Amino acid sequence: MALFDKFGKLAQARADLMQGRLNPFGTRIDEILSPTEGRIGDHRVILAGTNNYLGLTFDPDCIQAAQQALEDQGTGTTGSRMANGSYGSHMALEAELADFFARRSVIVFSTGYMGNLGVIGALAGPEDIVLLDADCHASIYDACKLGGAQVIRFRHNDAADLERRMRRLGERARTALILVEGIYSMLGDQAPLREIVEIKQRLGGYLLVDEAHSVGVLGTHGRGLAEELGVEAEVDIVTGTFSKSLGAIGGFAASHHPDMDLLRCASRPYIFTASPSPSAIASVRAALQALRSRPELRERLWSNARQLYRGLAALGYRIGPQPSPIVPVLLGSPEEGVAFWENLIERGVYVNLVPPLATPGGQALVRCSVSAAHTPEQIERIIQAFAALRAPAAKAMAGA
């Protein structure tokens, strides 16, 4: 078999979905006009498929900080965190995040994906057991592969299922690592963290919560789901990203554990890549300040999220199980998904199309993401675009 022959089925599936006018696998966005508007070809669109939850990508303070860092420190570090790639600003961001999360140690990684790889992949080796929620992000699955941990999967958001699987493990559950997310990226739902913590208290184990989609979104101070539910003390490690609420790129892990810093010498994804660019670090530091000092951003985000959730529910779409800044709309076949997504763009709304392989239940879905920077009028226009497609979509699904 030749090297690329293994992708035969994938190539066919991709070709089948590329019959339309736009490429659903990496749409070209020709212009970014603001945190909430862009241009795709001839279509000016509302961007409702970003993870720009707090709308900070065009924040003047963030831009100014990034520009200053470019001037002062150059375009890139050209080196590993372990070698020449740990600037004062990287360390300062770690200290600021440690203060924000009220945790002893924070390690900054080059992306959120690499943060999970770097922490889980280093901590959970072949002798260790990991229990992960079935809907965990690919970075968590990949991290488990990297470390070679023995992976037990439990049903999505089913704490009783987690408990059943931990009981089967007997004594070995006491040192197992439980992996969940604050807000799940596909359905926008939240982990039943109180129940999971209660199980951990009874049966043991360590708990890692990936708050990638929940930092800046949940909790009185924006620290995520663990803060929202008052269970931070029971969470051993928090991971997250700078590419959502914080509007740039990078990742982090925060913990109270006294040996957390050892990972800097043991984590291959930390060591064997270049560190984040100074400009990204600078804008993240400014964005973190905004997240802390402007709680009204979170309020606006939730007001917009509730407006969109209510609007799409009223139209009769099958949407996620709870209001969230991520509002998935479940569709039928992949072809229906692509057609629906293209029609939305033509009506001036960009959302993310998620092919069935990446979705729970194997259905195509479009995923709307709300930002604090959206105006209520923009949210209404998004709802109206969905309303215009409601009748054809219902007809197509009824005929399927």
Partner 1 sequence: MISQEQILERLLAYLRPMAPPGTPLHPDIDLRQELGLDSIKVMDLLMELEDAFDISIPLNILADVHTPAELARAVFSLTEHADGLVR
Q: Which parts of this chain interact with partner 1 (CB under 8 A)?
A: 9, 129, 134, 144, 148, 150-153, 155, 164-165, 168-170, 172, 357, 360, 362
* CB closer to partner 1 out of 135 and 211: 135
Q: Which is nearer to partner 1, 170 or 258 (CB)?
A: 170
For the bound state, the minimum distance from the C-beta of residue 244 to partner 1, rounded and expressed in Å, comes to: 24
Task: Please report the DSSP string for 94-107 in residue order.
Answer: HHHHHHHHT-SEEE
- Spatial neighbors of 328 by CB under 8 A, at least 6 apart, are 186, 187, 188, 319, 320, 354, 365, 366, 367, 368
Nearer to partner 1, 79 or 356 (CB): 356
Query: Would residue 244 show up in a list of annotated catalytic residues for this protein?
Result: yes
Residues 6+ apart with CB under 8 A from 52: 35, 36, 244, 247, 369, 371, 373
Hey, is 129 helix, strand or coil?
strand
Contact assessment for residue 191 and residue 226, using Cβ atoms and an 8 Å cutoff? no
Check: CB of residue 189 under 8 Å from CB of residue 322. yes
Structure tokens given for 36: 């909430």
From the candidates 90, 156, 244, 374, give the one annotated as an active-site residue. 244
Closest separation between CB of residue 149 and partner 1, Å?
8
Nearest approach, Cβ of residue 317 and partner 1 (Å): 23
Q: Which of 90, 213, 214, 374 is catalytic?
A: 213
**AA identity, residue 126:** P
Q: Which is nearer to partner 1, 151 or 212 (CB)?
A: 151
Q: Tokens 């059943």 label which residue?
A: 164
Question: Which one, 14 or 172, has the nearer CB to partner 1?
Answer: 172
Nearest CB to partner 1, comparing residues 141 and 302: 141
CA–CA distance, 376 with 46 (Å, rounded to integer): 12
Distance between CA atoms of 343 and 6, rounded to whole angstroms?
33
Shortest approach of partner 1 to residue 103 CB, angstroms? 30
Q: Is residue 185 annotated as part of the catalytic site, yes or no?
A: yes
Task: Give the nearest distance from C-beta 169 to partner 1 in angstroms.
Answer: 6
* Residue 95 contacts residue 140 (beta carbons within 8 Å): no
Q: Is 347 helix (H, G, I), strand (E, B) or coil?
A: coil
- SS3 assignment, position 5: helix
Give the side-chain half-sphere CA count within 13 A for 112.
24
Listing DSSP states for 281-309 in one string gives HHHHHHHHHHHHH-HHHHHHHHHHHHHHH
Q: Which is nearer to partner 1, 151 or 379 (CB)?
A: 151
Distance CA 147, CA 205 (A): 18
Q: Which of 105, 110, 185, 245 is catalytic?
A: 185
Residue 399 Cβ vs partner 1, minimum distance, rounded to whole Å: 20
213 catalytically annotated = yes
CA dihedral of residues 238, 158, 113, 144 (deg, nearest 10) = 100
**Beta carbon of residue 132, minimum distance to partner 1 (angstroms, whole number):** 9
Active site residues per annotation: 185, 213, 244
